[in-house]
Every structure is written in structure tokens, then in C-alpha cells.
Amino acid sequence: MRFTNVRHRRSLCSALASELTHYRLAAGVPRPPLRIWPDALTAAEEVALVEQADTWFSGRPYEPGHFDGVATAYREMQRPARRFSRTNRAVIERLAQATLGDKSLMPIHLLDLDAAGEIGRHVDHVEYSGAYIVGLSLLSDTVMLLHHEHSESTIEMLLPRRSAYVLTAETRYEWAHSIPARPTFDGRTVEKTRRLSILLRDHAAPTGEGPD
């Protein structure tokens, strides 16, 4: 059989990160390190972040397509951390500290996907973002798919509402990622509504000093 290492999770709401992933790895492709934190922020913190984003997005329609030719039914913006309320900034700084340590943050990327929205397969541009992508999922559970760049291996990442994930090293550079409009996890439908993601990134290395 082409794929091995298929994992099964016991419950959608499991607090165990290992059960939030479902691998289909081609022979010889090692399982990359991957981190998902369920409950990375509280319901009250989610409300405050969404309120702030809604103020900024107010009156802006969802774009039918395409950002880098990749996303549909989305709207997005970037805001430096200092533009957030003191409470929201504290949440962002706590998560940044836990994931990026003292690396300096790029402006925070807010990506609002309508219920029907999706993000096609891509690797974030190496000149515009650094070695880490930290994503917070607000308002909806969703599934992120990782696609190995050099085989047909895929990883399903179940991203529960209020969870955070980190893509770095192999999962940043050797795997592309996508978010399907109608997600399934381990063969089961995952209910996806409007999803707001808050993306924390470190700065790209100066040209010539990036990864090989």
C-alpha cells in the first residue's frame, strides 16, 4: 500500500495534540514535527479579538477570489500588534512568546474566511515571512491539509476553534498547506462556519540568508 502510518483520533474534542492529526505518509517520508494547541485562548479572549477584527473589517465585503490566486470568499488585513487593544495585545504577546520566543513579529495578519471560503495549496513566500507561521483559529473548527512538496503524502490537521498551530522547519518549507471549503477529518465531515485566523510570523531572513 502506498500510504502508511494512518492515525486515528478518538474524539473531535480531544485535548491530545497527537489525535488532532491524521497522516497519510508515502514510504520514506518521515512524520514532520507538528504542534497544535487546543484551547490556546479562552472564549472571552476570542470574543475580544473578533470584536476588534469586526471593527476593522466593518463595511468591507468578502472578496470572491484571489489573494496570490489562492483564497476565495475571504477578506484580510495586517495590523501591527501595537494597534490592538491592550487586552488583545497581551493575548498576542503571550502566544508569540510561547511560539516565537523573542523573535520580532511581523504585523499581525488577520484572515477572515466566509463559511464557503477556502485557501488553496501554497507555501508562504520565503521573502515575505520568516521561519515560523503561527495560526490561531477563531469562530470555527477547521481542517488544514499539509501536502508534501515531493511526494503525495498528506497530513490532516484538525484545528479546533480557539486552537493554535505552528508550522516551522519541514512543515514550513517542505510541505504546502491548504484549507478546504468543506473539510473532513479522518473521513468525517467537520462543520465549518465563518473562520477568522490570526497569523503571527517572524521576519524573513535577509535575502541570501534564507533556507537552502
Site for ligand OGA in 174-193 (CB under 6 A): 177
- Our CB check for ligand OGA shows the closer of 9 and 172 to be 172
Provide the angle, in degrees to the nearest 10, between the axes of the packed helices 43-57 and 86-100.
Answer: 110
Figure out which of the listed residues 38, 117, 130, 135 binds ligand OGA, where binding follows CB under 6 A.
Answer: 135
Contact 95, 166 (CB under 8 A): no
Q: Closest by alpha carbon to 198, among 88, 55, 104?
A: 88
Site for ligand OGA in 82-111 (CB under 6 A): 111
Figure out which of the listed residues 25, 95, 119, 190 binds ligand OGA, where binding follows CB under 6 A.
Answer: 119
134 touches ligand OGA (CB under 6 A): no
Q: Taking CB within 5 to 8 Å according to partner kind, which of Mn ion, ligand OGA, none is near residue 197?
A: ligand OGA
Torsional class of 205: left (φ above 0), alpha (ψ -120 to 50), beta (otherwise): beta
| Cα angle: 89, vertex 66, 109; to 5 degrees | 10
Summarize as ranges the residues that interact with ligand OGA (CB under 6 A).
Answer: 111, 119, 124, 135, 177, 197, 199
